[in-house]
Every structure is written in structure tokens, then in C-alpha cells.
Amino acid sequence: MSTGKEGNKDIILHPTDSERNCDIHTLSAVNTKLDGIDDMYYVLTGSYAIEALTQQRFRHGDIDSNIFTKDIFEAKRRAVKIFEGLVLSEGILEPYREAESSLWYMLKPNDRHLTPKRLELQFVEYRLTQDSPAVFSLEGPEDKFFRVPTTIVSLKDSDNRSFDFRVKSLSYLIASWALRISGMAEDQKRAVVASDLDNLGYLLRVGYEYNEVIEAIRSHPQMPKNSSEALIFKNALAAVFGK
């Protein structure tokens, strides 16, 4: 069933149990193989991260994730080698495309009634981290560092089994969507679409601490110079709720 919003082509409510099980079990296998290997941290992103934080069920298009590492070239090399021998219960992962800081694989389910999906691994270089939970520091221009806090959340399959994943914190994701929707983000990748407003709305309704969101905007890689964090958040709220 579609959400009925223009531009919301990747996130559709109510997937089948078979689809979710295939995705979650595959992601769990990938997470188990990659997370904690030397300096690699697997961070689930995209619509599955929003689902895990909001408990709002979606149907998902491509599956997105980050690999935080201190050496992108070496981490990519290790990941390719790991995937060569990865055995999945739900299907197979075939190499699809490679870029300087990304790998794409095509998930081809054993169930022929399920549609293949692309799994993207985007590698992000960090300098420092603190544990429990991990907070990554990314180096920016002029010796500036950006903070990316994470948290551990669970996704459940149709048998009510829980699978834990690391995702970017609620405050950080709210900050990310607020910057995009405000139109003030540095290095804006694309125009705002209706699904962006939906995503921020779902995250806001979970409940948030205002000061944490403001701090997340302030230390975000896309925070523009000489701009007001409060104004960015105010503009994003107005876009979502029409106030």
C-alpha cells in the first residue's frame, strides 16, 4: 500500500513477511561479518534505520549502510574478500558496482517471488571514536571535526526474533533531515521531496530533546558556516507541520 505521497517511491508501507525476513536476515549476516573487524564499524542507514528507530513499518527499496573505518582502501579490500565467501540462508549477494568509497551488491533472494535489491556499502573515514555506544569523529576543513553519534537498535522478523544493528542516533538523523529540508545544508545532494518530510515527521514523533538536536545540527558535516542551528530546525519543523 503506497503512502500516497509524490516522490516517495522507495518507502511504501507494509512489506510482506517474506521480504522483511530476507532483508533482515541478510543484513544481520553482513553486520556479523563486517562489524568489529579490525577498525570497521557497520552502521545501518536509510529507511531501515528509520524503521528501527521509529518502529514504523516500511517496504524498502535499495538497502543503505555505512562502514566507518580508518582506512577506506583496506576496508574495501577486506569487505570484498569477506563477501566472496559469505553464505546466506535467504539468497546470494552478487557484486554489482564499485566506486572509490562504495561497494554495491545485488541481493538475489532464493524465493523467486521476491524482487532483487541493491545493497550499498558506503565507506566513511573516521579519525577518533569513543565506545558504548560509538561516537565517530570525522575530519573536516580547517582542522574541524564533526561528530556522528550512534546507538544500538533492534529489528524483528516475523517470528519475533530480534536482530541488533548500529544506527546513527535519533538526534543526528533528525539533524540530517532538518538540514536537508531547511534548504540550508552544505553540499545539498538533491531537491527536497515529499518522502523527506515524511521521514522527518516519523523521527520527530518518536520524541526528542531539543538541545540534543541543536547540538547535532551544530556538529553536523553539512552545517553551513555562520548559520543559526535554531533557525534551521525551526524552518524544517515549519515545512513538516505547516507552522
Q: What is the pLDDT of residues 10-22, one digit of tens each?
A: 444 456 888 889 9
3-state helix, strand, coil in the chain (%, to 5): 35, 30, 35
Within the chain, all domains assigned CATH 3.30.460.10 are found at: 1-168
pLDDT of the chain, 243 residues: tens digit per residue: 333 333 443 444 456 888 889 999 999 999 999 998 878 999 999 999 999 999 888 778 889 999 999 999 999 999 999 998 787 888 899 999 999 999 999 999 999 889 899 999 999 999 877 776 788 988 877 777 888 999 999 999 999 999 999 999 999 999 999 999 988 887 777 878 888 899 999 999 999 999 999 999 999 988 888 889 999 999 999 999 986
Backbone angles phi, psi at 124, to 5 degrees: -125, 130
**Superfamily for the 1-168 domain:** Beta Polymerase, domain 2 (3.30.460.10)
- Asked if 170 contacts 46 with a C-beta cutoff of 8 angstroms, the reply is no
- pLDDT (0 to 100) of residue 61: 83
- pLDDT (0 to 100) of residue 12: 41
Tell me whether strands 59-60 and 11-12 are parallel, antiparallel or unpaired: antiparallel
Q: pTM, whole model, 2 decimals?
A: 0.88
